A and B are shown apart, each in its own frame.
Chain A
């Protein structure tokens, strides 16, 4: 069974392809890290795959109706928008809208999903707080809890750990691992190569709109690719804890 299949997905901005003939498939149980320098097309790839942008090629997601899609895939955008001073609970409950919340009274299933999501993101104590009055990192966790409450087979998250403290970065990545363990899948764009190497089951590397590597973190994060795509050198070690990668210098400069 496949959760997502892209065939020659191309997204144009004007005449220029921002995402250029990318083919990709996601099966259940994966945490796929989407890495690449700024402007590589990571966000555009995810939005194109969702059908939120006009595109060429085929995506299994954009073939769904908006309602079906909302029950199959969750989208967590990078812009952390909370427009109104609503409570954390209200915000997280928006994740249940695809199942009818808001049209009817909340079902027991909705209440359970909201509590589970708050619990996973360590937010139970914030439940009645006003979301817009929380700190930036706390808001990011609230928005992630909203995405978790949607409980879809697939989650696409755009830089969800940016701006989180180290403990919550690890918590977030572990939540993704647990989702994968339960048979769901996560596609997550990341700039932290250390987290990507340590927590992702698979990495997809993009550069200038093209998919340049797809495989196990150890293979994708080769010194050659780090130099040619990111322009950096990194210290790397295979430890009993897994692969450790720490960027050290620009590849042009002398160590």
Chain B
């Protein structure tokens, strides 16, 4: 218990430090103290504007997106009892991306600022309805995974269709870059749009800790220990859909966070799936904040995409995980 407490304190401190660091990194070279005083006390000068309207929403979104992906990864792995599960498995991120792509292609994004995230959320919502229709509320985890794969494939195919039919090369480029995932140039509009959904997701997923713990013994034993499996499944999928849909809507596709973060933290929480939820939320926030700082430091002038970096770092970690799973005979 105390070890878990220390871990949570350490992760919280890490997130806080990275949050401040994220506020201090940017193309405008300003000393940290000046930046922070401009943020906190403020004036009508350009520095306060940069801090409050550009860097603060970016750092806040980093926390929200990272926490969503980490938490959802831990929830999916705990539910499916498989360390290779990831939040995109149920097809929500692909469908959210399709929604966004349609918004860009049709020019809706030019019409009003929030068209893209709203269209992405609509895409996510459609995919969840489709998922429940395909897998059924009582469907086993295998039907759920297969339905998710089918929905992802379908969303991917439609995305490719929209891209290939695009008469406008600028829209096509915008789509490709958006899909790589980024937190650059987001505003407080994005924060206020995402926050209620992220909070709803937290409220749905965090209380599932005990049920996920009992699932360690298998579905039958978990049910006999008083876990309501049907309710657990519905709550979990709704929570993951809300959070991943929102994260994709505001940041595009940021891969590997939900896969790698629970894996890195598992042994630190004694492999308990319930304790892994909150720890992975903090760990995910730290990872996305760190990656978003890194993209600004590695290639300052070049707009390195966040999702590209997380994949470059995450894929080798994933290979290591596959290798270790094979070695353990899993």
A97 touching B214, Cβ below 8 Å: yes
The contact of B227 among A66, A77, A90, by CB within 8 Å, is: A66
Q: Which residue of B lies closest to A65 (CB)?
A: B226
Residues of A at under 8 Å CB distance from B? Answer: 47, 50, 52, 66-67, 69-70, 73-77, 79, 81-87, 90-91, 94-95, 97-98, 102-103, 105, 130, 143, 146, 150
The contact of B220 among A52, A86, A90, A143, by CB within 8 Å, is: A52
A235 to chain B, nearest CB (A): 37
20 further contact pairs, Cβ within 8 A, besides A50-B224, A84-B266? A66-B223, A75-B220, A81-B217, A83-B216, A83-B273, A84-B216, A84-B273, A85-B267, A85-B271, A86-B216, A86-B272, A90-B272, A91-B217, A94-B214, A94-B225, A97-B225, A98-B226, A102-B209, A105-B1, A130-B271
The contact of A102 among B81, B224, B266, B274, by CB within 8 Å, is: B274
Q: Which residue of A lies closest to B1 (CB)?
A: A105
B219 to chain A, nearest CB (A): 9
Residues of B at under 8 Å CB distance from A? Answer: 1, 81, 209-210, 213-218, 220-221, 223-228, 266-267, 270-274
A193 to chain B, nearest CB (A): 26
Report whether over half of chain B's contact residues are helix, strand or loop; otherwise say mixed.
helix
A76–B225 alpha-carbon span in the complex (Å)? 10
A41–B273 alpha-carbon span in the complex (Å)? 34
B81 touching A47, Cβ below 8 Å: no
B92 to chain A, nearest CB (A): 24
CB contacts (< 8 Å) of A69 on chain B: these are 224, 226
B270 touching A70, Cβ below 8 Å: no
Q: Knowing A52-B224, A97-B226, A103-B210 touch, does A83 contact B270 (C-beta < 8 A)?
A: no
B218 to chain A, nearest CB (A): 4
A121 to chain B, nearest CB (A): 16
A84 touching B272, Cβ below 8 Å: yes
Q: Which residue of A lies closest to B80 (CB)?
A: A83
B270 touching A47, Cβ below 8 Å: no
A70 touching B225, Cβ below 8 Å: yes
A47 to chain B, nearest CB (A): 7
B210 touching A66, Cβ below 8 Å: no
CB contacts (< 8 Å) of A105 on chain B: these are 1
The contact of A79 among B1, B220, B224, B271, by CB within 8 Å, is: B220
A249–B204 alpha-carbon span in the complex (Å)? 59
What would 29 A/B residue contacts be, using CB atoms closer than 8 Å?
A47-B220, A52-B220, A52-B224, A66-B223, A66-B227, A69-B224, A70-B224, A73-B224, A74-B224, A75-B220, A77-B217, A77-B220, A79-B218, A81-B216, A82-B216, A83-B215, A83-B217, A84-B271, A84-B273, A90-B270, A94-B214, A94-B216, A95-B225, A98-B225, A98-B226, A102-B209, A102-B210, A103-B210, A146-B217
